[in-house]
A and B are shown apart, each in its own frame.
Chain A
Amino acid sequence: METGRISAYKVEVCSTDQLKPSQRKLIEINGVEIAVMNVEGKLYAYRNACPHQGAPMVYGTVTGTMLPCKRGEYTYGHDQEIIRCPLHSWEFHLTTGKSLFDPCKVSIKKYEVTVEDDTVVIYFHKRPEKVSEKEVRYFV
């Protein structure tokens, strides 16, 4: 259905009890695969293709990382806020989709995801002509 959002169409993903913490879903809308995940109660949705070579981000590891710091220091941060490509380990902020190595130029496409009436929904930029769920073999 069309919503008040600009160019955004609501797509129901699943009920909230089907996407518990650490679980992931893979939805295909008009041929675009979108990974939806629950990380410690927070929901994220983004395009299931790393901008580098297209590896499936739904199998990416969610983790933290070392913050930039002085020589000889290691400071861990962003715990559970970083997703890494399952192939070449590129790092992206889950909240913004921006890469850590070049946040202005390299990012993964984010989609708005929320819960409405115990249903996980994402907002897609085009009218959803064809929607299907695809298998996620395991949760990383």
Chain B
Amino acid sequence: MNDHATDRNQLIDCDVHNFLGDLDELVPYLDLSWQKMMNIGKFKKDSVLNIGSFQFPHVRYSHASNPLRTDAITPSGDYPGTDPQFLVKDLFERYNTTYGILNVGHGSMSAYHNIDLTIAYSTACNEWMYDKWIKADPRYRMTMVCAPLDPKATISEMQRVAHRPEIVGLNLQNVNIPMGSRHFWDIYEAAEHYGLPIVLHPDTEGSGEYSPSQFIGPASTYMEWHTTLALVAQRQIASLVCEGVFEKFPKLKVIFIEYGFSWLPSVMWRMDKNWKALRESVPWLKKLPSEYIRSHIRLGTQPIEEPFKPADLISLIQMVKAEEMLLFCSDYPHWDGEFDERAFVHFPQELKRKIFYDNALESYRF
């Protein structure tokens, strides 16, 4: 399948998903009290006794077919993304992947109503990812999960594990506090200190009690929900820029994975226009908003938009000088990723090299 891959040697896949086969995999990393809270280990409830017990937060929209690729079921018949060795074979060896960055696939608990449990789960999840996945193959890298609603706990977790070189970003997750808000500033300061970019990926949108709204109320269907995820990123970028986060944290990078990117010209042009008229309300901004965006924001390529004329995507990227902003993502084993590189077949070689490797190397902590 790799006919399209012959013109490059290195690839960083910025969105690979690993899944818990069973919540019990977390048992070694949680003490008895948290095991009881999550009904795992010896507290596991079966059958009718399960009523009212802990449930891991899930996106509530049902997919028309299957949100996980049915060609990626593991050799033992388990869920896609649950077997580190098979993932290497099925993804890395097909793509000739240099590094694959794991963003935990079964979800975070970042917008869950019990923040104490979120904190305990996050620590356990980071350990599980490190033990089961990072140690399984030298190509694995990971973003660490955290409790964005508790900045102190998030910073403590960074102090605990951020020194691990395989951790390349902080998987912050969207909650219902805009990202420019000072609520997050201590986290940004710590992230800057550790050289970790902030990474956003759909998960909490619609799954947790603290999930961000999509502005006009809930979507009715998976299609409506998935399509409008892009709005979350646009709204967050406006918040980050207007609140002056990139003036305050000049080395910080914020990476939006799986929100698409073809909406970028609209955000840049609209913000630039408004700044010319309304800069008095944000006097801490010293240059065009689009310049902050270009320097500090990175966007995953996936789900790649499919224009009527495929090559128009290149014009769009050139229009806003986004060549250094885009990061290749397979999104394996989710349903909405790219099967191979043919989505980029029209892209010039230099742009492909940036998207497939250089940009990720510059944006994550490598």
Chain A contacts to B: CB under 8 angstroms: 50, 53-56, 59-61, 63, 65, 84, 86-89, 137-138, 140
Contact = CB atoms under 8 A, between A and B. Distances in A.
A60 B66 CA distance: 10
B335 A89 contact: yes
Please provide the 6 A-B residue pairs with the shortest distance between their CB atoms, ordered closest to farther.
A59-B71, A86-B71, A89-B65, A53-B339, A86-B70, A55-B339
A66 B336 CA distance: 21
Contact of B69 (A63, A87, A137, A138): A87
B340 interface: yes
A81 to B, nearest CB: 15
A138 B339 contact: no
B174 to A, nearest CB: 24
B77 interface: yes
Contacts of A54: 1, 339-340, 342
B342 A86 contact: no
Contacts of B65: 61, 63, 84, 89
A137 B339 contact: no
B339 A60 contact: no
B342 A140 contact: no
Contacts of B66: 61, 89
Contact of B338 (A53, A59, A86): A53
A19 B139 CA distance: 39
A55 B342 CA distance: 11
Contacts of B63: 89
A65 B338 CA distance: 24
Nearest to A60: B70
Interface of B: 1, 63-66, 69-73, 75, 77, 335-340, 342-343
Contacts of A59: 69-71, 73
Contact of A137 (B73, B337, B340): B73
Given A59-B70, A89-B66, A137 B338 contact: no
27 contacts: A50-B339, A53-B339, A53-B340, A53-B343, A54-B1, A55-B71, A55-B339, A56-B71, A59-B69, A59-B70, A59-B71, A59-B73, A60-B70, A63-B65, A84-B65, A86-B69, A86-B70, A86-B72, A89-B63, A89-B65, A89-B66, A89-B335, A137-B73, A137-B75, A138-B77, A140-B70, A140-B73
Given A55-B69, A137-B73, 12 more contacts: A53-B343, A54-B339, A54-B342, A59-B70, A60-B70, A61-B65, A86-B72, A87-B71, A87-B335, A88-B335, A88-B336, A138-B77
B337 A87 contact: yes
A134 to B, nearest CB: 13
A59 to B, nearest CB: 4
Interface of B is mostly: loop
Nearest to B303: A88
A89 B75 contact: no
Nearest to A54: B339
B344 to A, nearest CB: 11
A137 B71 CA distance: 9
A140 B65 CA distance: 12
A61 B64 CA distance: 11
Contacts of A65: 64
A54 B338 CA distance: 10
Given A61-B66, A84-B65, A89-B65, A138 B335 contact: no
A88 B66 CA distance: 9
A91 to B, nearest CB: 8
Contacts of B64: 65, 89
A50 B342 CA distance: 13
A61 B336 CA distance: 16
Contacts of B340: 53-54
B70 to A, nearest CB: 4
Contacts of B70: 59-61, 86, 140
A138 to B, nearest CB: 6
Nearest to A140: B70
Contacts of A60: 70
A93 B154 CA distance: 50
B103 to A, nearest CB: 19
A54 B5 CA distance: 14
A59 B69 CA distance: 9
A18 B335 CA distance: 31
A125 B66 CA distance: 34
A50 B73 CA distance: 18
Contacts of B73: 59, 137-138, 140
Nearest to B339: A53
Contacts of B69: 55, 59, 86-87
